[in-house]
Structure formats: structure tokens, C-alpha cells
Structure 1
Amino acid sequence: MTERTAARPPVRPRSGRRPLPPLIFLLVLALAAGAVWWTVVRQDRAREAAQAQACASAEAAPPSLEPSSVLVRVFNATDSSGLAGQVAEELRARGLTVNEVANDSGRRQVEGVGEIRFGARGRDQARYLSAYLPGAGEHQDTRATAEVDLVLGPQFTGLATVEDVEAALVPDEDVPTGC
């Protein structure tokens, strides 16, 4: 009997080298995926920053309130006598409720056109009143009422015109959704 042996091809010994082309392909694929991820994250952050900026400018617009619901005390921090009384009369003529008129006895130094002082409950009233005195600083104190103080500063020249106030109180049409 003769033995038949199947002809097997000789086995090539392993050289110990790893297949380089697949490793290079995987590395390039990982770098491309990382670059795409980085670009998406950057674009998302830029979109969120633009949204936050748009919402901040929309928040800066004063609320539209009924003028008679705004309780104001007018104080004069200038050397011009009678200025608080004149401004109080003008505010009353525009429908605001003026409770007190006096010289400023506060210890705060008022600079510029003036300052609007308010408590936590008077934030909306203060923002509404800021339309009447553009450029006025704001100072939140610890009062518990919604009453707002309008303190006239050394650079005060007059209240905003009725048209300017109405224009400042018009809601912004371009407010993005989600604010």
C-alpha cells in the first residue's frame, strides 16, 4: 500500500511584524472622527453664545408696565435747587405715581445723569423707569417694597421724550425663541 500524502503548501514562518496598512487606516479614521467631533463642538458653543447674547439683549428691554403702577420717589443729588420737583411734576404728567420729592440724603455718590435705586420686588419697575432716564446707573438695595428711587445726578439734562420712551418700551420683534 502506498501512502498518499496530500501536498500541503509550506507554512511561511511569521516574521513578527504587524500589518502596517490597517493600523495606518485606523489611525487616519480616528483623526478624522476627532476633527469632525471638534468642529461640531465648536459650532455648538458658538451657537449657544450667540443665543445667550440675543437673549441678554432681549432681557435688557424694559418691561411694558402701566405707568400708574410704578411708585417713584424723586431725589436731587445736584446743586440745582427745585430740580427734583420739576422732574416729579413731569413724571406725574406722564402718569407715574410720585410718592416723595426731596434732596438725596443717601451716602452713595451719584455720578452721570443719575441712578435708579430699587429692591428685589422693584426690579421690573426700575427697568421700566430706566426708559425715562437713559444712561442712569442702577443700584439694588435691601428694601422690601416695589418702590423705586430716581436720583438725579450732576449730568442730568432732562427726561427722555415721550417718543423715545415709547420706542424703548416696544418689544423687540427679533427675540429668538427659547429666551
Structure 2
Amino acid sequence: MRGQQVCYQHGGAAPQNRAKGERVFAQYQAKAHAARLMHDLAYKAENGIKDPLDALERLAVEIMANKDALGSMVNNLQGQIEISNNFGDEKIRGVLELYNSALDRTMKVLDALLKHDIEGKKIKIVQDQAQAVAALVMRVLIGSGLTGPALMKAKTELSSGLKELTVVEGDV
């Protein structure tokens, strides 16, 4: 029996088992359809996680794509809702359960993104990189023999240039 682990004669013909089997089968089909729609966004496990912040953002994108795919399936069910029989109801119920689960998962991931202040951390990383570049440039200037007012002017220009760069990076 489709979506069941029992045969017709050993309980598969019971109305509640047939209904549950149809719901399980509908969920299987919905998951397979959503997986096909998300295939382009799938993150390859062999790449590993080099940047956890980036991985969390990718996860959020994949989960939102899954939610959107299931949402489009729910929208496509509108015509079936009016003309459904008992087994059609199970298909609709199965897809709606998956969609509600995807909504909950999306909310949890977006909440995690907000709690961990991902954008703030990315800006901090850019600022730290800018400070490292500034320190390197200062070492080069001092190492090349630049001193006095010329060194102070170089420090001022470097500082203002890096602040402008940080503001531009933060606005993106």
C-alpha cells in the first residue's frame, strides 16, 4: 500500500491507515519536489565550513527557498481544496504540515541570525581587516624612512581613507 508499511489484508485497507498512507505519500512527494526546486542552492558538504557566518546565511537562504517552494505548492492546492475527497484531504493536510514546519524552521533560523548579529560581525571583520592593512602600510612607511610631518600627513590620509572604505562596506 502506498505510504504504508502494511499490506491490504493486514490493515492497509482500514480507512485510517489509507488516510495516513496518503498523507505520508503526499509529504514524500512534496519533499522530493522541494528538493528538486532547491537543487541549485544546495551546499556541497565536501567544501567544509570555512566561514560559519557565511554558512549560516547560506542555510537561511536554503531554508527560505524550501519554504517558498512549499508555499507555491500550497498555493497550487487551492483548486483541489474545493473538490477533494477523503484521500485528497490527506494530501492537502500533508503539504500544509510540511509548509507549517518550514515556516517554523525559517523563523528559528532568522531568529538565530538576529541573535548572533551577523551583519554587525561582518562589519567588524571588515574593520579588523582595514586596521590590519593600515598597520601594514604604516610599517612600510616607517620602514621606508618617512618621518615628521610627512608621516603624520600619511597617517591622517590613511585613517580617513579607511573610514570611508568602512562606511562604504557597511552600507552594502
What TM-score do the two structures reach when normalised by structure 2? 0.29
Q: Which has the higher contact order (CA 8 A, sep 6+)?
A: 1
| Greater share of residues in helix | 2
| Greater share of residues in strand | 1
